Amino acid sequence: MKEKFYALTLEKVFELLGSSPSGLTEEEAEKRLKKYGYNRIEEEKESLFVIFFRQFNNPLVYILLFAMGITVYMGDKFDAAIIGGIVLINGLLGFFQEVKARASIRSLKKLTETKAKVIRDRKEKVIPVSLIVPGDVVVLAEGDVVPADVRLIEATGLLVDESILTGESIPVEKRAGILLEEDTPLYKRVNLLFKGTIIVRGKGKGVVYATGRNTEIGKIAEKIKEKSPESPLNRALKSFSLRWMFILFGILSFILFLGIVQGRDLYKLFLLIISELVSAVPEGLPLVVTFVLVIGALALAKKKTLVKHLPSVETLGSATYIVSDKTGTITEGKLRVEEYKAVDLDLLMLTAALCNDADEQKGDPLETALLRWLDKENFDWRKVRKAYRRIWEYPFDTNLRLMATVNKVDGTDYLFVKGAFETLSKMAEGDVSQFEKWHDLLAEKGLRVLAFGYSKLDKIPDNIQEAKIKITGLVGFLDPPKEGVKEAVETARKAGIRVIMVTGDNLKTAVAVAEKVSIYRKGEVAVSGEDIQKYTDEELYNLLKITSVVARATPEDKFRIVKVLQRHKEIVAVTGDGVNDVPALKVADLGIAMGGGTEAAKDVAKMIITDNNLSVIVDAVRQGRVIAHNIRKVIYYLLSCSFGEIFLITSTFLMKLPLPLYPVQILWINVVTEGVQDKTFAFGKEEKDFMAEKPKKPEKTFFDRKQLFDILYTAFIMGGINTALFTYLLKITSYEIAVTVVFTSLIANQWINGIQSIKEEPFFKDILKSFTVNPYMYIGTGIGFILQLGAIYLFSEWIHTVPLSLQDWVYVLISSVAVFTLIEIKKWIELVR
């Protein structure tokens, strides 16, 4: 709509939108959804046609297709058809895997879709943001992400972070009862809320006038379209692939030169080198890695962890720090008043009732606990609220840690304040030493302590901190630790992950809770947010290495802690549920939002845990380590098989022997080994207690000295055994049989290598586990075996094979047993060393 809603009266706004303060009916909303479409900025969807042809958008495939063209030109149309067919098969495999992966990612995105509160059929309902339509009346509160462009109807203490739209980091105050000039610029439209901005403080209600691409943020969608940053593993894979390509070109250039010197047929030599190049480069590795990540993300979803940002799965297992909030993650979040101290109990209860935004059904856990306490003490807070109406409010301030209201009590204006004792004590008149003693007594019991105060007013204060009050009492809340958290913390310690609890609570309370769950131990440090501001970044990092509790922390403190750790190459997971957690969640390597948290937190997080429990996060780290090890195994398997083929080709060249494989056979090997085995690594289970190991940096997890040694060792024995077999067979049988036996032997060796890759431990150490840790590997091998039988006995002419006798199969069996045994011996040596 082109109307300038900020310059129109609310009556005119409702008239244009065909709505009212009571909202829409469900029937009308459905009609508008069909008319205006879903309230989302659609990503560009690729057609199946584009996805299919992208499988061939690869320099290596170009080379192979070029080789196929030369083959046709030289009259060998049969070989050209085979090469083309195998290229097509590889393309189809990649196509189906990518389509399946995209479907899985879409289903995960649906699970993590944010929700909003609207008025439909005169009732408040929570619906997915995508279903909001123009004319809907939305209800917003602190921590919500604005779901669409909205004209305000009501606003109470409303502050909004519009930095995503304007770049201005200072929150903007919003007001409902105001009309603006038509030429008012975007950043001054204080009676509008814009899609994607965040409610920092206060509450409001408004009518939606634009959704999806018609919103302000939708209009600049191309500029702000979110793209997942390239993950550490993908960067490592790219870097490795480039180095590997240079090495390959060097080796194959040498083979070409040697072949020319030896006088080999240039056409066959050229085809062999191109085919070997395509075979040796694991061009399918990124796709296999994505497949492993998708399967891992689906496994995490079953364990109450929803992944929004797929690349975050791969670094989950590398986390070195978990910076966790307390309430709702470490503790139950089900507060109850356990104890109180008062000098004027009636005024304490009156303040608890009036300076409180909760009601019987909903509200902040602390405020609802106060109402339950008042009910228990037979204090009629409902009657009091009706009698003493609120005329002004100062919503809870996360930095000051207080809330205030002004109520008309028997004709007199009273200021009621509740908040942290440290804050209220600075505003208090008179001696507060008795309150200090009470506060410490309650805090040392692990109770969360709130102070309450009041004063009579002549006028509403401009600055709440300048108000002078009398403290009436203190209330201590018990929030017991969640079941399983202590065990999770101990597991994290064993895994080399440091857990730091960052909370807004008093230091004594925070330490008491942290001790109960083993986060805080003797000899460790607990600091307050005020104290860490005194340290330089370098000093703070050294302090954090021995710190387990940061109390009275502001959002800025949490943000700084994360950034300091990251500057020192730590991988940081951050948990949070409130709008105050958004900055830290945004910059963390792994921002983890609570399922019951604010929409703002869930919007910026990379993961959402549906069960707000630290134990779920630690379990997710365990799953992340399993995923990382599965990726490591895929890399080992693909590269060791590629190196094995190169070793065989190069050694026979150096020995001036005939070619041990036809180009088509090299391509076929990819189909019946990697094509059927590498995808099964995604389903590997935890073979040992990965949480007993210290975290590794991603690059070390996937490419370290042991990995390189294992790749070269396996490649050497596969290449060496088959070179020896080929040399022997040329002496006792025909070239065609020798090629077919070595061709089948190399494939069988790679199957054996895949089976040995299932476990890092020896195969015969716990044989039952060897068969159950990843049974899909055996299914993949079985499929490959059937395909190979077809290549030998059904379409042997296409693959340049001849039928093998039982004696020939004995050679294949011997070579496979030798490869299996030599890998097994290496594993046993590593185990006993």
Rounded to the nearest 10 degrees, what angle do helices 266-280 and 59-73 cross at?
Answer: 160
Nearest-angstrom CA–CA distance, 549 and 660: 65
Phi first, then psi: what are they for 591, rounded to 5°? -85, 120
Q: Which parts of 608-704 fold into alpha helices (H)?
A: 614-654, 663-672, 674-677, 698-702
DSSP state of 703: S
Query: Please, are residues 641 and 674 in contact by the beta-carbon 8 Å criterion?
Result: yes
Query: Please, are residues 454 and 347 in contact by the beta-carbon 8 Å criterion?
Result: yes
Nearest-angstrom CA–CA distance, 89 and 700: 34
Question: In residues, how long is the chain?
Answer: 833
**Do strands 547-551 and 498-502 pair parallel, antiparallel, or not at all (unpaired)?**
parallel
Q: Which residues are within 8 A (CB) of 798 and not within 5 positions of it... i.e. 6 or more apart?
A: 78, 82, 664, 791
Q: For residue 385, which of 416, 361, 424 has the smallest C-alpha distance? A: 416
**Dihedral over Cα of 662, 665, 669, 675: its sign:** positive
Q: Which residues are within 8 A (CB) of 24 and not within 5 positions of it... i.e. 6 or more apart?
A: 32, 120, 133, 135, 136, 137
Nearest-angstrom CA–CA distance, 164 and 89: 45
Rounded to the nearest 10 degrees, what angle do helices 806-832 and 735-757 cross at?
Answer: 30
Nearest-angstrom CA–CA distance, 641 and 722: 13
Q: Which residues are within 8 A (CB) of 513 and not within 5 positions of it... i.e. 6 or more apart?
A: 326, 330, 331, 446, 479, 481, 501, 505
Query: Please, are residues 176 and 156 in contact by the beta-carbon 8 Å criterion?
Result: no
Nearest-angstrom CA–CA distance, 119 and 135: 10
Active-site residue flag, 325: yes
Nearest-angstrom CA–CA distance, 60 and 133: 48
Nearest-angstrom CA–CA distance, 589 and 571: 6
Nearest-angstrom CA–CA distance, 470 and 466: 13
DSSP string, 345-389: HHHHHHHHHHS----SS-S-HHHHHHHHHHHHTT--HHHHHHHS-
Q: For residue 590, which of 318, 316, 326 has the smallest C-alpha distance? A: 316
Query: Please, are residues 623 and 739 in contact by the beta-carbon 8 Å criterion?
Result: no
**Do strands 172-173 and 149-161 pair parallel, antiparallel, or not at all (unpaired)?**
antiparallel
Catalytic-labelled residue, pool 79, 136, 161, 325: 325
Would you give the end-to-end CA distance of the chain in angstroms?
74
Active site residues: 325
